Structure 1
Amino acid sequence: MRRQDIGVLRRATPERVSGFSDGVFAVLITVLVLDLRPPEIATFEALLSLWPTWLSYAVSYLFIAIVWTNHHYLMRYATEATLRLLWFNFAHLFSMSLLQLSTAWMAKSELAPQPVASYAAVFFLVNATYICLIWELIDRIP
């Protein structure tokens, strides 16, 4: 096999980037649910007292689902996996990984202002990195 053929085989493809991202999104949703704990007392009242945790989890789960759906459709426009696309994608996935920490902090604090602000900052960061992905793909349109 010629040297240039080996280089072609090693090149990242948009499909690999999407596949890797899908795996990360799956792990993020799985890790998110690990913070859910049953109440100490076996009553519905005790379960209802955990509403900040359940609300935080539900909003985060929905956010991950929306971001994954958008990412899935956006990556359909990728014709090549450029180095910039890879790094913007890693930045996007990193920002998504912060969601678990901010969700847990917000739930534990029972929606106190600073944890909620941290949670909002993560949402902003996720959207900012998503815009970077969009810009990279738009730059590649002939």
Structure 2
Amino acid sequence: MEFAFPARQEHTGGSTPKGRLESCSDAVIAIIITIMELEMKVPHGDGMEDLGALVPVFLSYVLSFVYVGIYWNNHHHMLHACTSVTGAILWANLHLLFWLSLFPFATGWMGENHFTAVPTAFYGVVLLMAGVAYYLLQAAIIRRQGPGSLLKEAIGRDWKGRLSPVLYIVAICATLRSSWIAQAVFVVAALIWFIPDPRIERHLAGSVGRRSEHQ
């Protein structure tokens, strides 16, 4: 099943399959962030030592918040380059949301156990599978667009997408030696993606400009 998405409707307020996909994804991501925040329980005491016990949970929350924000940002930009939604794209998007929905559990488990090896390794697995799911969604959009895909041109060699899974695997293996090495690798991977990539916006702007010249 395939839903056509006319270009002239992309910036209107009407209901479109692409608009529903974006709205559903935004809602799920918002819920994920809310659940992660609710995992930080208010301490029963009123002393600084009571807050200190929450530091690992808070740090794991910050790390996951950054990662979820990165996914939301890049997902938003990727869908800007998508002009039609197919069944494959819908399922690939749900696959990505599934792995993102495990962030609250992985975050809470890692934080509550003060970044010990097994919870940290599990967190790395969730990051790895979310990265794979994002790649599959990206591939589904590129396959739908066919030769001359706007998204394919925008991401180029996609060195970030290729490097990230390698870093996650390194982090998972590093937990056998030190979970703090794994945490450092997670931070490095996040920093690589922290600055939004403007390539898709530039290609979209260029594509719009070229269409205007030919009209």
| TM-score for the superposition, normalised by structure 2 | 0.59
Identity of matched residues, %: 32
The amino acid across from 2:59 in the alignment is: L
> Quick one: distance in 2 between partners of 1:22 and 1:69?
10
- Aligned partner (choices 14, 17, 23) of residue 18 of structure 2: 14
Q: Which residue of the partner structure matches residue 121 of structure 1?
A: 125
Query: 1:29-62, CA deviations, whole angstroms, 9 ceiling, x for partnerless residues?
Result: 1111111112232112321232110001111111
Give 3-state SS (helix, strand or coil) of 2:85's partner: coil
Give 3-state SS (helix, strand or coil) of 1:140's partner: helix
1:50 corresponds to 2:31: no
More relative contact order, 1 or 2 (CA 8 Å, 6+ apart): 1
How many residue pairs match? The answer is 133
Runs of 4+ in 1 over 4 A off after TM superposition: none
Q: Which residue of the partner structure matches residue 100 of structure 2?
A: 96
> Quick one: distance in 2 between partners of 1:124 and 1:93?
14
- Aligned partner (choices 108, 112, 119) of residue 112 of structure 2: 108
Q: Which residue of the partner structure matches residue 206 of structure 2?
A: none
Q: CA RMSD in A?
A: 1.5
Q: Which residue of the partner structure matches residue 3 of structure 1?
A: none
Q: Would the aligned equivalents of 2:82 and 2:141 in 1 still touch at CA under 8 Å?
A: yes
The 5 A counterparts of 1:33-72 are: 33-72=37-76
> Quick one: distance in 2 between partners of 1:20 and 1:40?
36
Unpaired segments of 5 or more residues in structure 1?
1-6
> Quick one: distance in 1 between partners of 2:135 and 2:93?
11
**What is the CA distance between 1:140 and its match in structure 2?**
2.2
> Quick one: distance in 2 between partners of 1:54 and 1:107?
7
**What is the CA distance between 1:67 and its match in structure 2?**
0.5
1:86 corresponds to 2:87: no
> Quick one: distance in 2 between partners of 1:106 and 1:132?
27
1:77 corresponds to 2:81: yes
Unpaired segments of 5 or more residues in structure 2?
5-15, 147-215
- Aligned partner (choices 118, 126, 135) of residue 139 of structure 2: 135
